[in-house]
Amino acid sequence: MIGTRKVLFAVAVSTAVMVGSVAPAAAADTKIHGSTMLVYKSPDGSSVVLTAAPGSSKTGNGSLNDAIAAGWVTPLAQSSASTGGGLSPQTVGVVGATTCSTSWSYFSTYVAGGANGCVLSAIGNDYETPPGGSRSYISTAFTANIHYSNSLASSDLYVDRADSWSYWAGGNPYNATQVCLNDTWETTGWAFTPVTVSIPPGAGAGFSTSGSSISWHCPSVLTNTYRIEHITTGVHFSGYEINGFQETAQEDMLFSYVWYSNYEATKGIH
């Protein structure tokens, strides 16, 4: 789905990196590593918000490697073909694992099988011309490591790690006035078979659930930056027979008095 929303209104802007009710990372944390700055880390470390370090060069890649090197995010453990299904999060997803098939029958039978998992990813670019600026694009993307296990009694789908980000590629203006990011993970089950959703108990602010979906909305906007990134681990869905999954990453960026939203980064397995 592709869409753009523009809302015109006046807004007062703080010069702080982060505004709102959620506190940034503790002062004891190493807050900058490479080209990445840590903005927020949940109590249990399962949800992390990142932005660009001051003075860093613009890049379209995610900051996962910086976050792992700094110790803000725990790397996923290597899995093996002999690993059984129904395992806990962070024990199965593999960086560089096979790409998820978008066919559920193939995914559930051959690709995932509860053992090695797979990677689901999407990217979308939205070209805009901010007020008084030059035309460029806003890019939104995500990469998710997931695995699935199924039995006659139940099925479980784990998002071992989801990494989503959005950035403004333009040079005029160099930064957006405000940026925010929204993530949604949703599943479907056979008729009359509800899906139970769960997030880690210490995942922190921004999460909500509705039916068979889990959403995260940035708990506070970032100001005067061109980039926002969210990494989360341990999202879990359980039901009698899960038969579909989809992730969507959507940004909100304010330039002066105009908001832009991009809905393109979405992909599912059905």
Count the Cβ atoms, other than its own, within 10 Å of residue 95: 14
Of the listed ranges 19-33, 80-94, 150-164, 170-184, the least confidently predicted one is 80-94
Tokens 């029958």 map to which residue?
A: 105
Number of other residues whose CB lies within 10 A of the CB of residue 132: 9
Q: What percentage of the chain carries pLDDT values higher than 90?
A: 45
Is residue 4 scored above 50 in pLDDT? no
Residue 254 maps to a domain: yes
Residues composing the chain: 270
Who's near 125: CB < 8 A, 6+ residues apart?
137, 138, 139, 262, 264
Q: Give the model confidence (pLDDT) of 167-176 as tens digits.
A: 999 999 999 9
Angle value at C-alpha 187, between 198 and 220, nearest 5 degrees: 55
- Please indicate, yes or no, if residue 197 is contained in any of the structural domains: yes
| 218-242: average pLDDT | 92
Neighbour count for residue 201 (Cβ, 10 Å)? 9
Q: How confident is the model at residue 24 (pLDDT cuts 50, 70, 90)?
A: very low
Host domain of residue 102: 32-269
Question: What pLDDT, in 10s, does the model give residues 60-113?
Answer: 667 888 998 999 998 876 544 333 333 333 333 444 457 788 888 877 776 554
Say if residue 200 is preceded by a cis peptide, omega within 30 of 0: no
Number of domains forming the structure of the chain: 1
Q: What pLDDT score does 88 carry?
A: 34
Q: Does a structural domain hold residue 13?
A: no
- The region of weakest confidence among 25-39, 40-54, 106-120 is 106-120
pLDDT of residue 48: 95
How far apart (Å, rounded) are the C-alpha atoms in residues 51 and 36? Answer: 6
Residue 62 within any structural domain of the chain: yes
158 falls within a domain: yes
On whether residue 215 sits in a domain, the answer given is yes
Say what the pLDDT of residue 97 is: 59
248: in domain: yes
User: How far apart are the C-alpha atoms of 118 and 98, rounded to whole Å?
Assistant: 5
pLDDT at 78: 53
Decide: 110 and 130 in contact? Cβ < 8 Å.
Answer: no
Would you say residue 5 lies in a domain?
no
pLDDT at residue 179, as a whole number? 97
Give the mean pLDDT of the chain. Answer: 79
> CA–CA separation, 157 vs 153, rounded Å?
14
First to last CA, the chain: 16
Mean pLDDT in residue range 174-184: 96
